[in-house]
Amino acid sequence: MADKVKRDQIVALKTAGTSNKCIVKQLTVCRKTVFHTWKQFQETDTTSCKPIPGRPHSIRTKSFVSAVKKEMERNPQRSVWEIAKEAKISRSSMQRIVKNDLQLSPYKKQSRQLISEPSKQKRLHRVKLMLQEMERAAGKVFIWSDENMFTVEAVTNKQNDSLYAKSLKDLSIKARSHLKRQKPASVMVWAAVASDGSKSPLIVIEEGVK
């Protein structure tokens, strides 16, 4: 957007009957600037810039955003609502700071197997022995096998599996319930893979077989 001096010059030239093309060439401004400046003058009788809509960014200052960033880095687990409450600002303002200014996104914790330090060292030692054996016996084929128990029961996600209704009473008990068995049916499956890329079929182990 051109400064006020240029806008005043545009209005003066337009009032004198100068064409847009000549104004663009004479003042070195774009056609869009000439058009909007003249339109604004006709509507408001002024060349002053229109006030920016919305509330001013009195809270989202650089120092405040920097303080929020430090707090998020110190404890990434804190919720936006907690930080907003402590800073005495609205939750929506804090969300804009986190999302727009800091460009942070929420991530859920991932479930991982808890492994003790001795188990980690034992696994590392076994892997090193395996790699050494594979280097010594380049022509051999190594086979790895494992089994896993699969539960034959529908899996539900309490957060995402939702039902929409005006009232819970509008849904039948069957529709709004997830039935679970005390001892759900399960099946054991065994398989093996080889270092040459081949693999075994999936073997379903009969119940009671060890």
pLDDT, tens digit, for every residue of 15-67?
888 888 888 888 888 888 888 888 888 888 887 776 655 555 567 788 888 88
Burial classification of residue 24, based on how many CB atoms lie within 10 Å of its CB (0-12 exposed, 13-18 middle, 19 or more buried):
middle
Query: Are 148 and 208 contained in the same domain?
Result: yes
The pLDDT value given to residue 199: 93
Cα separation, 169 vs 71, in Å, equals 44
Q: Quick one: which H or E segment has residue 153?
A: none
Cα separation, 67 vs 71, in Å, equals 6
- Examine residue 30 and state whether it is found in any structural domain, yes or no: yes
The pLDDT value given to residue 117: 92
137-142 mean pLDDT: 81
- Examine residue 55 and state whether it is found in any structural domain, yes or no: no
- Examine residue 94 and state whether it is found in any structural domain, yes or no: yes
Query: Are 96 and 149 contained in the same domain?
Result: no
The percentage of residues in the chain with a pLDDT greater than 70, rounded to a whole number, is 87
Q: Position 127: which residue type?
A: V
The mean-pLDDT minimum among 71-75, 136-140, 147-151, 181-185 falls in 181-185
CA 117, 119, 122, 126 dihedral sign is negative
Query: Are 8 and 38 contained in the same domain?
Result: yes
Query: Are 147 and 193 contained in the same domain?
Result: yes
**Total domain count, the chain:** 3
- Examine residue 32 and state whether it is found in any structural domain, yes or no: yes
Beta bridge partners of 143: 194
Domain of residue 79, residue span: 62-101
User: Does the predicted TM-score (pTM) go above 0.85?
Assistant: no
Query: Are 10 and 38 contained in the same domain?
Result: yes
Residue 200: is its pLDDT beyond 60? yes
- Examine residue 177 and state whether it is found in any structural domain, yes or no: no
The pLDDT value given to residue 155: 66
Which structure tokens are listed for 167?
């009232």
- Examine residue 126 and state whether it is found in any structural domain, yes or no: no
